[in-house]
Amino acid sequence: MTGAELLVELLLKKGVTTVFGYPGGAVLPVYDALYDCGGLEHVLVRHEQAAVHAADGYARATGGVGVSLVTSGSGATNAITGIATAFMDSVPLIVLTGQVSTDMIGLDSFQEVDIYGMTMSITKHNYIVMKKSDLPRIIDEAFYLATTGRPGPVLIDLPKNVMMDTTPIKCEISEQQIRTPIRGYSVHRSGYSIQCYHFNGCRTTSDLDSASI
């Protein structure tokens, strides 16, 4: 099993059914794995920015986690606006980006950008997968972080050689599926305490505690 095949298997275990993406050289191993997989629908967009925005819309509509897949270099930088939007609006996303091989990182390689550094301020967390054995832990953590507390995007950078690695590993990952209520995109059935206070004309703390609309 390659790293890319493991990635797809892990996404399936997390309940992912749809991936929005645009192919490129650095993520071809992942696309090969997606092609061979029968359980994941890939929605082909026409621009990497659209992939992240589509995943964002999917998350808002379903309450699940939106997943997008883009290549390295300009493919990754094209996704930044969508990532920032999800961060500002607290939308749970997993953004998978291609990256050059681990031994080429930092050498100004073809289509190499520091997407990890670029997205530090607009993600809840981001990762560079430096070895295949880290994938199960990273996927588990990424989905947890994206959906708990204040929801938001998590970026996972995928070096090409790690996605092609066939080294056997022991894989353990939880299959928890979380539905995340997104503020502003769900019905409010109760008011906030200060709003209730003013609405009901409350004058005491006990009134404030019991106020509702």
| pLDDT tens figures, 111-148 | 999 999 999 999 999 999 999 999 999 999 999 999 99
Would residue 132 count as lying in a domain? yes
Residue 106 is classified by DSSP as: T
101 and 194, same domain (yes or no): no
Kindly state whether residues 128 and 196 are assigned to the same domain: no
Q: Is residue 125 assigned to a domain?
A: yes
Domain of 147, in residue numbers:
3-164
- 175 belongs to a structural domain: no
The model's pLDDT over 60-72, given as tens digits with 9 standing for 90+, comes to: 999 999 999 999 9
Q: Do 19 and 67 belong to one domain?
A: yes
Q: Are residues 18 and 96 in the same domain?
A: yes
Is residue 172 in some structural domain?
no
Q: How many domains does the chain have?
A: 2
The answer to whether residue 87 scores a pLDDT higher than 80 is yes
DSSP codes joined into one string, 127-196: EE--SGGGHHHHHHHHHHHHHSSS--EEEEEEEHHHHH------------------TTSS---S--HHHH
Q: What is the pLDDT of residue 18?
A: 97
Q: Are residues 72 and 127 in the same domain?
A: yes
Q: Are residues 19 and 95 in the same domain?
A: yes
Whether 97 and 15 map to the same domain: the answer is: yes
pLDDT in tens, 16-59: 999 999 999 999 999 999 999 888 999 999 999 999 999 999 99
